[in-house]
């Protein structure tokens, strides 16, 4: 994901990830790709994602040290106390009450405490349960009865978590040794708020039906081909002009006729030859 020049940016940084499922592990994966050492702490039963999404679980956990511990027991919490003390970044993804039960509340208040990335469902109501589907429902990005193919809040939430972790590390590095020894930093990330960010193009009309990116522009849309669908993204004026020149089409109907007579493979070859932003829909 990152260019090779950045692969050692976080060398010497230790990330301890207590989060399961998607947002926390994905954030940890990206921090690891930037050179951080990542230690993942899973419950005795493992990460549920490992059961129902094994390939993705393995991809996100690649190169990480995985420890299993029961943080609901005194023994489990004692086992990881020294590990937390050594961490530069700690990632959690449970409700505040669960953090209390697991002994993970107030991590940033420890002397020389870590940057605590505290992922919750809703920053305004962190005890309210929810998942990506409910956050997308509230954000207006669902089209029932179809299920969403993208975990919008989870993915954006992971990236918000990475941003917060990097900002926290920078703030600690510039705060001076005396300040760092007093306490760490607490950064709360809301998946609902992340989903709302992802829904901004719809909220402001860009991707709403008939909006500029919602079908209102004939040079930006989906068209049937001879064997599927093609995506046309000639958004900028120079691309739109090039599309018109290459296809002879000056409106939606003419472009539809041009593409419907060609297979996706032929369209992709055409796009490559003419340097046009077209793609086959997989």
Query: What are the domain boundaries of the chain?
Result: 4-202, 212-280
The CATH superfamily holding the domain 212-280 is: formyl-coa transferase, domain 3 (3.30.1540.10)
Q: Which alpha helices (H) appear in 90-131, and where do they start and end? A: 96-102
Give the pLDDT of residue 183.
Answer: 66
pLDDT band at 180 (very low <50, low <70, confident <90, very high): very low
> Tens digit of pLDDT for each residue in 50-71?
999 999 999 999 999 999 999 8
> Tens digit of pLDDT for each residue in 108-156?
888 888 999 999 999 999 999 999 999 999 999 999 999 999 999 999 9
Q: Tell me yes or no: is domain 4-202 CATH 3.90.76.10.
A: no
Rounded Cα–Cα distance for residues 239 and 11 (Å): 42
Please provide the DSSP assignment of 179-244 as one string: HHHH--EEEEEEHHHHHHHHTHHHHTTSSSTTSIIIIISTTEEEEE-SSSEEEEE--SHHHHHHHH
């Amino acid at each position: 994901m990152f260019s090779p020049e950045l692969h050692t940016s976080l060398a010497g940084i230790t990330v301890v990830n207590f989060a399961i499922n998607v947002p926390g592990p994905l954030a940890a994966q990206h921090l690891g790709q930037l050179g951080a050492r990542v230690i993942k702490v899973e419950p005795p039963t493992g990460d549920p994602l490992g059961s129902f999404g094994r390939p993705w679980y393995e991809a996100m956990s690649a190169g990480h040290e995985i420890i299993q511990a029961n943080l609901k027991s005194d023994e489990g919490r004692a086992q990881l106390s020294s590990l937390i003390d050594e961490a530069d970044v700690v990632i959690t993804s449970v409700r505040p009450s669960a953090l209390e039960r697991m002994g993970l509340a107030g991590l940033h208040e420890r002397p020389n405490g870590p940057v605590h990335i505290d992922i919750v469902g809703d920053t305004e109501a962190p005890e309210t349960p929810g998942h990506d589907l409910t956050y997308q429902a509230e954000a207006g990005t669902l089209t029932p009865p179809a299920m969403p193919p993208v975990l919008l809040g989870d993915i954006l939430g992971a990236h918000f978590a990475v941003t917060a972790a990097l900002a926290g590390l920078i703030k600690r590095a510039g705060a001076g040794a005396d300040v760092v020894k007093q306490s760490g930093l607490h950064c709360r990330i809301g998946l609902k708020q992340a989903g709302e960010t992802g829904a901004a193009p719809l909220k402001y009309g860009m991707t709403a039906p008939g909006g500029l990116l919602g079908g209102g522009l004939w040079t930006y849309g989906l068209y049937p081909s001879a064997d599927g669908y093609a995506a046309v993204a000639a958004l900028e004026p120079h691309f739109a002009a090039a599309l018109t020149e290459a296809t002879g089409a000056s409106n939606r109907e003419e472009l539809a006729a041009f593409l419907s007579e060609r297979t996706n493979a032929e369209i992709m070859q055409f796009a490559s030859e003419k340097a046009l932003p077209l793609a086959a829909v997989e």
